Amino acid sequence: MNASGKLAEAKNRFLATLEIVRRELVVLKYSHGRLFASDIDPSWVEHLETNMDDAEKLEAFVSRFGRTQDTIGDKLIPRALSALAEKTSNVLGNLNRAERLGWLASVDSWLVARDLRNRLVHEYMIDANQFAEDVVSADRQLGSMQPRRRCAFGHIQPQPATGWDAKIWRRVEIRGDITIQVWGVPTTNSVAATLE
Amino acid sequence: MRLTERARHVIKDSVSEIFGPSAIVKLFCSRTDVELKGGDIDLLIECPAPVAESGLKTAKVSARIQRQLGQQKIDILCTWPGAPLSPVHISAIKNGILL
């Protein structure tokens, strides 16, 4: 396969991954809403022992939170870089690059969110006060992972393209809550996405 | 101890910046056993008094260390006088090596 064929393949791969992330964000948002409909305080944590329903809500949120982060960090970002014909390195290297490109507001926030999520799955849940505090911290950190109102990943001016593969340019909208818009811009030979 | 000097400094500085200079940090688990190769970094932060939002602060320390040392598996426990202790906490307090 020649270079331009490989690049086209990289772009398609990125778009396929973007679709997966879109779906993961939808279900994460759902689980987030369900969990935080309750007041997460020490007594809520203590009742987890017998309240199977709430335990399941917590589990769903934590696992979806982690999975979405992993997909974005391990797959979406490196594939976005490859689609832009950029070299990829290790996870931290890619995150730093994403930060420089304006896709992530803060690698620090990213890492903090990751650590908070890991704390929630640890066996160290020995203190209901601490656990409740950590769940709330994780929630706040998740909010800061969508750092700009319009843009979690960098965007490029949308233009319906001429001479561009029409399949690459598409817009996906989910109930106006989570919108992922993808533009292909042939002049800069790049593909980017905006998550709102 | 298998930590490099640089790693030691990064860890101590990160803890001091987030928890203040009176917090002490100990290394425990796999990294203290000379027989084992590599492994995760397990740290215990002992504070002189209860800390608000300790989970968030601990996460910040972890993030700071990772940014400087590269992403590794870093597990950090935080404790203070009177805090509830798990068996892991107890072991870390007892066997941890002061950095």
In the block, which residue shows the tokens 């393949």?
A9
Q: Is the pLDDT of residue A157 over 80?
A: no
Q: Which residue has the higher pLDDT, A7 or B32?
A: A7
Contacts of B59 in chain A (CB under 8 A): 111-113, 115-116, 119, 137, 141
Contacts of A126 in chain B (CB under 8 A): 84-86
Does the beta-carbon distance from B63 to A133 stay under 8 Å?
Answer: no
Specify the pLDDT at position A143.
Answer: 60
| Chain A: residue whose CA lies nearest to B64 | A108
Interface test with A, best of B18, B44, B62 (most A CBs within 10 A): B62
Q: Is the pLDDT of residue B89 over 90?
A: no
Specify the pLDDT at position B62.
Answer: 94
pTM of the model: 0.76
Contacts of A130 in chain B (CB under 8 A): 54-55, 84
DSSP A7-46: HHHHHHHHHHHHHHHHHHHHHHHHHHHHHTTS--SHHHHH
Helix ranges restricted to H, B20-86: 54-69
What is the phi/psi pair of residue B5, to 5°? -60, -45
Q: Is the pLDDT of residue A129 over 50?
A: yes
| Chain B: residue whose CA lies nearest to A137 | B56
Specify the pLDDT at position B66.
Answer: 93
Q: What is the mean pLDDT of residues A119-132?
A: 74
- The secondary structure of residue A50, as a DSSP letter, is T
What are B37-87's pLDDT values in tens digits?
Answer: 455 788 999 999 999 889 899 999 999 999 998 867 888 999 999 988 888
A134 contacts chain B (CB < 8 A): yes
- The secondary structure of residue A72, as a DSSP letter, is I
Least confident of A84-98, A123-137, A174-188, B84-98: A174-188
Q: Quickly count: other Cβ atoms within 10 Å of residue B6's Cβ.
A: 10
Q: What is the mean pLDDT of residues A101-130?
A: 77
Contacts of A141 in chain B (CB under 8 A): 56, 59
A115 contacts chain B (CB < 8 A): yes
What's the complex ipTM? 0.83
DSSP B20-33: -TT-EEEEEGGGG-
